[in-house]
Amino acid sequence: MSATRPQRSLVLRPATPFRAATAVNAAVAVVGLGAMGSRVAARLLGAGHEVTVWNRSPGKLSPLTGRGAVAAGTPAEAASRAGVLITMLSDPEALRSVTEGPDGIAAGAHPSLTVVEMSTVGRAAVAWLASALPAGIGLVDAPVLGSRAEAESGSLTIFAGGPAELVERVMPLLSVLGSAIHVGPLGSGAAAKLVANAAVFGTVAMLGETVALAQALGLPSDMIHHVLAATPLAAQAERRRAAIESGAYPPRFRLALARKDARLISEAAASAGSDLRLIAATETWLAGAEQAGFGDRDYTAMLETILRHGHGHQERPTPGLRRGRSRVPAGYDGLIIDLDGVIWLGGDPITGAAEAIAALRARGIKVLFLTNEPLRSRGTIAARLTDIGIPATATQVMTSAAAAARTVGSLPGLLTRRALVLGPPALHDEISAAGFQLLTCENACQADVVVVGGHEGFNYRELRAATVAIRNGARLFATGRDPVFPTPAGPEPATGAVVAAIEAAGGRPAVVVGKPEPIIFDIAREALAGCQRIANIGDNLTTDIVGAKRAGLDAILVLTGTTDRAELERAAIQPDMVLDSLASVPTAIMTADFVRDE
């Protein structure tokens, strides 16, 4: 170990404010005072804690300040006043908005602060939060199962993810709110919550379809419930009977939030390569109920939608496309285009790709080539494109390696700029060009960041080095999470397989930069500066289409790569346009129009 840089510990020895987290009067801040956050703050006040509160809408502060809470002017102020800060927010975008910037949580964080993230935002958002907070800040993800009544009574089920020592230290605080279960390392709480919600949503949807079937077959209401009482749906059928018969669904958990959670479940499943057809169907029922105006009712109002339309008679909603709205032209002036499966396949050019790019450029459309491949440099890829008749420069190519370098290069508050890079030479070159000193495995304990990309040389020596670096406080970044990639001889391990091993040993989830995460799409959008409307073109439902949708981009699927029409039909997240190949794109986007919400 270098004598000039002390070894850091992943779990910091807490300063006095953090030790107070286990005391009756611990200083706690709650950021986000919606239906759940306000009740969490009230429980903590009732238990004798010093509570600081912040909410975007100040009107929600007075009931709590009237009971002794202190109102903070910004999330940064809330963080500066607390030993433990709880976030309870609606979605990943809200979490990002209260964390970033001069008024955000990260700006007000101090070395003895522990952040307990209790929103339902998914593992990717938790990983992002870990990277956004200053190095050394404790973080536990602890989403809850239960609603308003459980929050008021302190009977929530809490899924806690994080280092065992850190979770143990916040357990007394969490016990005020309910029963906490340590489910694994950081990010496991978010994963467990999605699993629990998948079970809850799927059960309600199954009940609705079962009742719809019974009604279609002519069974009377009493007989339907008598039959269901003899099945695994017995408890749900009894619990929901009054609502089904009265049509009243007072909100305990708003359907709009359930729809958001269902989207997170589908995205997580797609990223993990899991084919969940029942959950996909459930998401369409929730989407249909929201479109029917039930967003502010309880999530179980999807039962009314199911029963009203009958199984199989509701048109499946396509994300980004709706009927009965205004029509707008495609009108793209920028396109993000995948390479493998779109431009070439197995290294061989796809017919019509070069001509399509030429036609798009002739119409003034800017093009950026985007790939998850970390193996080749941008210059090498640009040269290959030029060789097949698509003139390109390195600035017109973005790789996951380059995006990773851009991401870690912009991190604030690094003690040094030292990186342990585990990946191909192109990844080493990009991180070095971003101003980092590259470390050997023997000096891994000095690393501020660990950056991982798939490569054939990964071995136990590298795994051990990454583990040492991460458990000494280094942040973990990965170029992608694809577990395998196709070859003529069959699938071979990809970056995701390497990352999984490092996450398991390091005890911390990686911030994934490559597709389908929004980070790489945001970087691509910056490269197309000046473009007002951008679409993403790809062949992979999981990385290209899901990724584009998460980044707020239109998504065009071409069928020259990994996706066939049967897989497309089963997909929960649908593209805005489906074409046989890139050759069809110039004509299609100049003549197509989409039906969109106002």
Res 488: pLDDT: 64
One-letter amino acid at 60 equals: K
Res 436: pLDDT: 94
- Name the class of domain 401-512: alpha beta
Does residue 10 register a pLDDT over 70? no
Where does the pLDDT of residue 509 fall: very low under 50, low under 70, confident under 90, or very high at 90 and above? confident
Q: Which two tokens stand for residue 296?
A: 């502010």
Res 387: pLDDT: 93
Does residue 7 register a pLDDT over 70? no
- Distance, in Å, from the CA atom of 481 to the CA atom of 515, rounded to the nearest integer, reads 8
Res 310: pLDDT: 57
- Distances from the Cα of 332 to the Cα of 72, 160, 321, 390, 586, angstroms: 43, 44, 16, 20, 10
Helix pair 302-309, 234-246: axis angle to 10 deg: 80
Least confident span in 13-17, 31-35, 564-568: 13-17
Q: What is the average per-residue pLDDT within 69-82?
A: 95
Q: How far apart are the first and last CA of the chain?
A: 59
* 334-372+517-596 and 401-512: identical CATH topology: yes
pLDDT 10s digits, 391-443? 999 999 999 999 999 999 988 777 789 999 999 999 999 999 999 999 999 99
Mean pLDDT (the chain, rounded)? 86
Thinking of the domain 16-186, which architecture would CATH place it in?
Answer: 3-Layer(aba) Sandwich (3.40)
DSSP for 230-289, please give it: TSTTHHHHHHHHHHHHH-----SSBHHHHHHHHHHHHHHHHHHT---HHHHHHHHHHHHH
% of the chain residues with pLDDT over 70: 89
C-beta separation of 136 from 8 below 8 A: yes
CA 462 to chain centre: 27
Handedness of CA 238, 240, 244, 245 (dihedral sign): positive
Among 2.20.70.10, 3.90.15.10, 3.40.50.1000, 3.40.50.12160, what is the CATH number of 334-372+517-596? 3.40.50.1000
Does residue 14 register a pLDDT over 90? no
**Which amino acids are annotated catalytic?**
338, 340
Where does the pLDDT of residue 295 fall: very low under 50, low under 70, confident under 90, or very high at 90 and above? confident
Is the pTM of the predicted complex or chain greater than 0.85? no
C-beta separation of 83 from 22 below 8 A: no
Least confident span in 5-19, 41-55, 216-230, 305-319: 5-19
Least confident span in 8-22, 208-222, 340-354, 483-497: 8-22
C-beta separation of 228 from 210 below 8 A: yes
Where does the pLDDT of residue 572 fall: very low under 50, low under 70, confident under 90, or very high at 90 and above? confident
Domain ranges of the chain: 16-186, 193-309, 334-372+517-596, 401-512
- CATH topology for 193-309 is N-(1-d-carboxylethyl)-l-norvaline Dehydrogenase; domain 2 (1.10.1040)
Least confident span in 7-11, 51-55, 64-68, 444-448: 7-11
Q: What is the average per-residue pLDDT within 464-468?
A: 96
